[in-house]
Amino acid sequence: MLSILIPTYNYNTLLLVKTLQRQAIKSKVCFEIVVLDDASSDRQSSTENKKINTLEHCTYIESEKNLGRTATRNILAHKAKFNWLLFLDADVIPLNHDYIETYVKELNNKHDVISGGIVYETQRPTQNQLLRWVYGKTRESKSAKARNKKPYNIISANLLIAKELFLRANNFETNHYGLDIYFSYKIRELKAKVLHIENPTIHLGLESTSIFIEKSLRAIQTTYTLEKDNKIDISSRALQIKYKQLNSTGATKLFIFMCNGFESIFLKNLKSRHPSIFLFDLYKLCFYCKLKKNA
């Protein structure tokens, strides 16, 4: 009934799999757990992950070449035995001991997609990871009530979805960072019934500030490309809406000029002990404005 699917790359997922297996057995659901390694270069994590094959109902597979998360998820979905797919990122852990049981109770509730949400640890990380932590707690860690107000804003790191729907919505092989927005857009186009509940996982894998900024800009580039190719509309992200508002006033060029002058100040703040999400928003909006200006 339930296929638990985990794409991984250079990450030890053994603890996560053991936790999920123990909960799934306790819930008495018919299940499988499949981990697909996207050609990791870290042999130590791969060695640990191979122990997954010794666990009942659990399988660990290694890809021969790096395909990216989207293609890896497609492979996992096609391999899945059951009609419900629970996708988790490798760097999470369930917050509650009844995580699987909570999802199992939702399997017959006439929804196509059920999202449990994401939370972050309460303890502040090192300064080098603070921006990712502050951003996650500010923008990603939301109650089910808040998430249900905009149900199609989906974070796929902790997602229960009907197999048939997933294969229809995730039928693209593009290996770009930031494709959750495209996946969410297609879920909305297919008029899927989405429910957000309180069943979070803890996001453990915090990138350094430099890597997170780089990934964020790559995600914006992906948004711009999808928009240019008419695959998403021009109001799919708050970033696009802010650009439209700014551009309607004719102040885009002035905004870019001012941001360029303050770029070093922005980056200094983002790497500090007190990173400002407001400044991060300005930094990203400026990057998007430049993409639009150079189109």
* Same domain for 215 and 183: no
> Which are the contacts of 283, defined by CB distance < 8 A and separation ≥ 6?
213, 259, 263, 266, 267, 270
Whether residues 126 and 272 share a domain: the answer is no
Question: pLDDT digit string (tens) for 127-154?
Answer: 999 999 999 999 999 999 999 999 999 9
User: With contact defined as beta carbons under 8 Å apart, do 195 and 114 qualify?
Assistant: yes
The reported pLDDT for the residue numbered 216 is 95
The answer to whether residues 270 and 209 touch, using CB atoms and an 8 Å cutoff, is yes
Tokens of 169: 């919505």
Residue 175 pLDDT class (50, 70, 90 cuts)? low
Same structural domain, 258 and 191: no
**Which of 203, 222, 255 finishes a domain?**
203
- Token pair recorded at residue 227: 């928009």
Do residues 168 and 224 both lie within one domain? Answer: no
Cα 134 versus chain centre, distance = 16
In whole angstroms, how far apart are CA 31 and each of 34, 52, 80, 167? 10, 15, 10, 19
**30-66 pLDDT per residue, tens:** 999 999 999 999 889 999 999 999 999 999 999 988 8
Residue bearing the bigger pLDDT, 184 or 236: 184
Q: Are residues 102 and 14 in the same domain?
A: yes
**Distance between CA atoms of residues 240 and 224, nearest Å:** 9
- pLDDT-derived band at 178 (thresholds 50, 70, 90) equals confident
Tokens, residue 36: 């697909």
The verdict on 223 and 125 lying in the same domain is no
Specify whether 197 is located in the same domain as 234. no
Q: Are residues 180 and 77 in the same domain?
A: yes
pLDDT digits (tens, 9 = 90+) for 208-266: 999 999 999 999 999 999 999 898 888 888 999 999 999 999 999 999 999 999 999 99
CA 275 to CA 112: how far, in whole Å?
Answer: 38
125: domain CATH number?
A: 3.90.550.10
CA–CA gap between residue 286 and residue 289 (Å, rounded): 5
Contact 187, 194 (CB under 8 A): yes
- End-of-domain residue from the set 181, 203, 225: 203
Task: End-to-end CA distance of the chain: give it in Å, rounded.
Answer: 48
Residue at which a domain ends, from 203, 222, 245:
203
pLDDT in tens, 102-119: 999 999 888 999 999 999
Calpha distance 44→162 (Å, rounded): 34
Going by their DSSP bridges, the two strands 158-162 and 58-62 should be labelled as: unpaired
Range(s) of the domain holding residue 194: 2-203
List, for residues 19-39, the tens digit of each pLDDT value.
Answer: 999 999 999 999 999 999 999
